[in-house]
Amino acid sequence: MATFHERHPGITEALLSRSRNDAQDNPYEWAARRVTNVETVLDVGCGNAPMAPRLANWVGLDLSEPELDLARSSGRTPLVCGHSDALPMADGSVSTVLAVMSLMVVDDPARTLLEAARVMRSGGVMVIVLPAHRPVKIGDVARFGSLLAVLGRPMLPFPHPEVSQKLQELLGGAGLELTEDVRSRFEYSIAEDTDADLLIESLYLPGVPHRRVRAARAVARRWVGRSVGLPLRRVVARKVDGSRARRSRM
C-alpha cells in the first residue's frame, strides 16, 4: 500500500472530490459534517490532506512522504510524518480523530483504533469513512461486476476488507462507542476517457497483471457519458467516559 501511495499521491482526493451524493456533498464534505468539535482535529492517514481546508485546528498524519509533500505544496499544514500504530500525541489531547478512507489500509486497524482512543479526550469523537458495498443502483452492480471480471478478482482487494464487518467490535475493544453508522452513494461522472482512466488508476490492485488493468481501462472507457456509484460508509464513535480499552485481534 505504501508503494501505491508513493506512485499515486493525491489519487483518492482526485477521484472522491469529484463525486457527489444526493445532498451534493463530496465524501470530504460529508465527513466534515460530523466534526462538531474543532478544538484539536487529528486526521490519521490524511494523504494529501483534502480535509485540511474544511476544518479549523486540523493536524494531518501520514506515513507517505509523497502524499505529505503534495499536501505541503498546496499549503495544507500542519503535517506529521508518522505511523498510526504509535501516534506522536499525548493521551487525551485531541477532541476529534478522523480516519477518512484509511482504516482499511493501515497495517493494524485494531492498534490504530486503540491509539486513536488513547489520544482522544473523554467525550471526544472519531469520524471514520470506509468503502461500502451499498447503496448502489442496478447499473453500478453491472458495471463493477464487469470490471471485477476483467480484473479477475471477486472484490476490490483492500489490505483489510474485514474492518467494515468487524468495526463495532473493534471500536468497543478500543473503548469507543458507535453513535452513527450511515451509508451514501457518491456519483462519479465519466465525461471522457481520462475520467475512466482516473477511476482505474485509483484502484488498489496489487498483483493484478498489466494486461488485466489495461482491459479494465478499456471497460471503463466504454462508460463515457455515464456515471458510476461509489458507496461509502460513515461511522461516528465517541470515547466513553472512564472506558478501558481491550486489545482486540483481527
Ligand X SMILES: C[S@@+](CC[C@H](N)C(=O)[O-])C[C@H]1O[C@@H](n2cnc3c(N)ncnc32)[C@H](O)[C@@H]1O
Could you list the residues that contact ligand X (CB under 6 A)? 1, 5, 12-13, 45-47, 50, 62-64, 67, 83-84, 100-102, 105-107
Residue 116 beta carbon to ligand X: minimum distance, rounded to whole angstroms = 11
Q: With respect to ligand X, which residue has the nearer C-beta, 84 or 96?
A: 84
Q: With respect to ligand X, which residue has the nearer C-beta, 206 or 242?
A: 206
Task: Name the residue with the smallest CB distance to ligand X.
Answer: 47
Supply 224's cell numbers: 463515457
Long-range contact list for 144-148, CB < 8 A, 24+ apart? 144/228, 146/219, 147/216, 147/219, 147/220
Residue in this structure with the C-alpha cell 483489510, named with its chain if needed = 160
Residue 226 beta carbon to ligand X: minimum distance, rounded to whole angstroms = 24
Q: With respect to ligand X, which residue has the nearer C-beta, 96 or 102?
A: 102
Q: With respect to ligand X, which residue has the nearer C-beta, 103 or 211?
A: 103
Q: Which residues pair with 237 in a beta bridge?
A: 126, 178
CA angle centred on 53, ends 190 and 128, rounded to 5° = 75
Greatest Cα pair distance, the chain, in angstroms, is 55
Q: With respect to ligand X, which residue has the nearer C-beta, 1 or 156?
A: 1
- C-alpha 29/C-alpha 20 separation (Å) is 10
Residue 210 beta carbon to ligand X: minimum distance, rounded to whole angstroms = 22
Residue 14 beta carbon to ligand X: minimum distance, rounded to whole angstroms = 9
Residue in this structure with the C-alpha cell 490532506, named with its chain if needed = 49
Residue in this structure with the C-alpha cell 501520514, named with its chain if needed = 62
Residue 120 beta carbon to ligand X: minimum distance, rounded to whole angstroms = 17
